[in-house]
């Protein structure tokens, strides 16, 4: 039997793709961890949507705040348009909504029951600020209009890996088509120590986009463990100056930025995914 904590029912829930669990975070009041089929999927702070706990999301944060300053997306001249491929607990969507008050976001989530659970338990802003769209990310992206998004975030996992159809050259080309001028494609890539999947993803992005960079902590880049690499891809030069790298260095889990020839070297010998 689930018990009530604040506005959240802590417990286990059957969803279309298995089992979701909501657990309290022992280190923070009114903070929760969402697990999907036993794997931590999201961390949610109901009191502070501006708090991001997962390291890879913290690495994404300066991409927004440095590359898309809030004064340029204040809702009067432009609204920041963000597409999330993969919903989970909508942690990043809640952060964007708290940072850019008039942002327009679409979150694509395959599991309708999970989407409803998250909507009702985690205080996700309503449409038009955040629209939850139930569907397969592989099928939804090709239906979207050209030049219709400023940022696309791919954060889709089946277990510990991203479905192959979301890693191909063709899918990257769809993201390129949907992004507006200056838009950025952000990808959360999970990989094992051999880094074969990450190198193939790097080769794929380099075959499509003019500019590619990557963020990860040093042990991950040296192939010492399973972990996450965040890729950034754009057809315009990426805003990756000293302040960007400083944000990464002072993160609780310090990360490194690899760009330009460093990405090419990382992808050497890998074949784009077709």
Helix (H) or strand (E) segment spanning residue 198: helix 196-206
Tell me the pLDDT of the chain averaged across its residues: 91
Alpha helices in 211-254 (DSSP H): 218-221, 242-249
* Helix pair angle (55-67, 91-99), 10° resolution: 30
Cβ atoms within 10 Å, residue 60: 23
Architecture of domain 50-267: 3-Layer(aba) Sandwich (3.40)
Q: Is the pTM of this model over 0.85?
A: yes
Q: Which residue has the higher pLDDT, 99 or 223?
A: 99
Domain ranges of the chain: 50-267
Q: Which range among 75-84, 161-170, 181-190, 265-274 shows the weakest confidence by mean pLDDT? A: 75-84
pLDDT in tens, 18-74: 999 999 998 878 999 999 999 899 999 999 999 999 999 999 998 998 889 888 887
Q: How confident is the model at residue 6 (pLDDT cuts 50, 70, 90)?
A: low
For 52-121, give the DSSP string. --SHHHHHHHHHHHHHS-GGGSSSSS---EEEEE--TT-HHHHHHHHHSTT-EEEEEES-HHHHHHHHHH
pLDDT at 77: 74
Owner of token pair 């309503």: 126
Q: How confident is the model at residue 245 (pLDDT cuts 50, 70, 90)?
A: confident
Residue 3 scores a pLDDT above 60:
no
Mean pLDDT, range 180-209, rounded to an integer: 95
Residue 1 scores a pLDDT above 50:
no
Q: What percent of the chain has pLDDT over 90?
A: 74
pLDDT at 244: 85
Residue 133 scores a pLDDT above 90:
yes
pLDDT at 5: 47
pLDDT at 138: 96
């Amino acid at each position: 039997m689930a018990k009530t904590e604040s506005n959240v029912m802590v417990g286990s829930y059957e969803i279309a793709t298995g089992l979701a669990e909501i657990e309290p975070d022992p280190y923070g009041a009114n903070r929760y961890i969402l697990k999907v089929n036993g794997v931590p999927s999201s961390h949610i702070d109901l009191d502070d949507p501006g708090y991001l706990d997962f390291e890879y999301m913290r690495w994404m944060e300066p991409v927004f705040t440095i590359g898309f300053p809030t004064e340029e997306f204040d809702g009067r001249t432009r609204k920041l348009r963000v597409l999330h491929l993969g919903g989970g607990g909508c942690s990043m969507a809640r952060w964007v909504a708290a940072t850019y008050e008039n942002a327009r976001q679409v979150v694509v989530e395959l599991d309708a029951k999970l989407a409803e659970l998250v909507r009702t338990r985690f205080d996700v802003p309503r449409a038009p600020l955040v629209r939850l769209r139930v569907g397969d990310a592989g099928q939804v992206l090709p239906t979207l209009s050209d030049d219709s998004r400023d940022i696309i975030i791919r954060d889709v996992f089946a277990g510990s890996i991203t479905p192959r159809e979301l890693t191909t050259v063709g899918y990257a080309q769809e993201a390129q088509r949907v992004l507006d001028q200056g838009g950025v494609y952000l990808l959360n890539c999970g990989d094992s120590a051999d880094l074969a999947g990450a190198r193939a993803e790097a080769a794929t992005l380099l075959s499509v986009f003019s500019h590619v960079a990557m963020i990860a902590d040093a042990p991950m880049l040296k192939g010492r463990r399973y972990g996450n690499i965040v890729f950034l891809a754009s057809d315009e030069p990426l805003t990756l100056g000293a302040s960007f790298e400083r944000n990464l260095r002072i993160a609780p889990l310090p990360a490194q930025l690899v760009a330009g020839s460093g990405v090419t070297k990382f992808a050497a010998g890998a074949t784009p995914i077709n």
